[in-house]
Amino acid sequence: MRALLLPVKEIRKAKQRLAGFLSPSEREGLACAMAEDVFRAVTEARGAHRVFLVSCDPEAARIAETNRWDLIAEREQISESASVDFASRWCEERGFTSILRLPLDLPLVEPRDIEELLALELPLPGCALVPSRDGTGTNALLRTPPALFASQFGEGSFAKHCLAAEQTGARVLLLHNPRLELDVDDAEDLRALLRHDLNGTATGRWLAASGVAERVRSAARRVAAG
C-alpha cells in the first residue's frame, strides 16, 4: 500500500526565512494560500491508498476531516524531520509499503505530478527524490519502505538524503520536475514564482490581493535599474 504524507507545520512558525520581507500576517497568508494549492492537487490526484497529515496544530484536524484524510497527531512539533519520521514509522507498522512526503509550499504542483511519483515502481529498498530549484533541498521524497532512512530536511537535505539512501543499499532515483522544484522559502523564490502563470491558484490570488506581488516586482525593477 502507498500513502501520501503531508507534514503540517504550526502556522505561526511558517516561512521564517521571509521575515525580513513579509510581516507575520503576510507570512501566514502566503503559507495558507500555498497549502490550499497543494491540498487541491492532492484531492484531485489518484494513486494513494491513504492521505495522512502529521501535525500538532489543531487546524490540521479540521483539514483532515474536511478532505476525509487521516490525521497522525503529535504532542509537540520538534522539527519537520522528526514529524515525517514519526509518521513514516507509524505507517510502516500498519502495513504501508511506500510513503510519499510532500511539503505544503509547492504552489505550482498539479495532480499529475503527484500521480507520476505514486506510480513509480521502486525496488525494495528504493527511493525517489525531487530536489528544490537550487538543487540543495528535497521537495518530494518517496521511500520504500517508509522508514528506510532518517529524514534530514533543512539546509543541504538533498545531498544528505541521497547519501543516507545509498548507505542503506537502496536504489536511488533522481527526478526533475519544475513545478515540484519551486518551493517558496525566500524573496528570490517569490521572484521566481512570479515568472510563472499563477492563474487559477490560491497563491496567485493572494499575492495579487495582498500587494506582495507588486512589491516583489517593484523591488526587482529597482535592482534592474541599478
166-216 confidence digits (pLDDT tens)? 999 999 999 999 999 999 999 899 999 999 999 999 999 999 999 999 999
Residue 130: enclosing H or E segment and its boundaries? strand 126-131
Answer yes or no: is 197 within a domain. no
Cis peptide before 178 (omega within 30 of 0): no
Total number of domains constituting the chain: 1
> Is the separation of the CB atoms in 90 and 72 below 8 Å?
yes
- The residue type at 95: G
| For residue 125, cis peptide bond before it (omega within 30 degrees of 0) | yes
Q: How confident is the model at residue 28 (pLDDT cuts 50, 70, 90)?
A: very high
pLDDT number for residue 219: 78
Residue 208 lies in a domain: no
pLDDT score for 92:
97
Residue 79's pLDDT band, with cuts at 50, 70 and 90, is very high
Q: Work out the average pLDDT over 27-44.
A: 96
The answer to whether position 137 is within a domain reads yes
- The whole-number average pLDDT for the span 217-221 is 80
pLDDT at 20: 84
Q: For residue 226, is it within any domain?
A: no
193 in any annotated domain: no
Query: How many Cβ atoms sit within 10 Å of the Cβ of residue 163?
Result: 12
* Residue-range definition of the domain harbouring residue 27: 2-184
Provide the pLDDT for residue 178.
96
Q: What confidence category does residue 9 fall into, taking pLDDT thresholds of 50, 70 and 90? A: confident
Percent of the chain's residues with pLDDT above 90: 83
Region 153-173 average pLDDT: 95
Question: Within a domain: residue 32?
Answer: yes
Q: What span, in angstroms and rounded, lies between the C-alpha atoms of 69 and 65?
A: 6
Residue 112 pLDDT > 90: yes
Which of 123, 155, 164, 158 shows the shortest CA–CA distance to 141?
Answer: 158
Assess if residue 211 is contained within a domain.
no
| Grid coordinates of 28 | 501566514
Distances, alpha carbon 110 to alpha carbons 93, 113, 117, 172, in Å: 30, 5, 12, 24
Q: Under DSSP, is residue 136 helix (H, G, I), strand (E, B) or coil?
A: coil
Residue 20, amino acid: G
Q: Which residues pair with 140 in a beta bridge?
A: 130
| Beta strand 50-55 pairing with 2-7 | parallel
With respect to residue 200, please indicate whether it lies within any of the assigned structural domains.
no
The percent of residues in the chain predicted with pLDDT above 70, rounded, is 98
Residue 99 above 90 pLDDT? yes
CATH, residue 17? 3.90.550.10
Residue 17: closest CA among 127, 132, 109: 132
Average pLDDT over all residues of the chain: 94
**How is residue 169 written as a grid cell?**
543499499
Q: pLDDT at position 226, please?
A: 62
Task: Give the separation between CA 206 and CA 27, rounded to whole angstroms.
Answer: 11
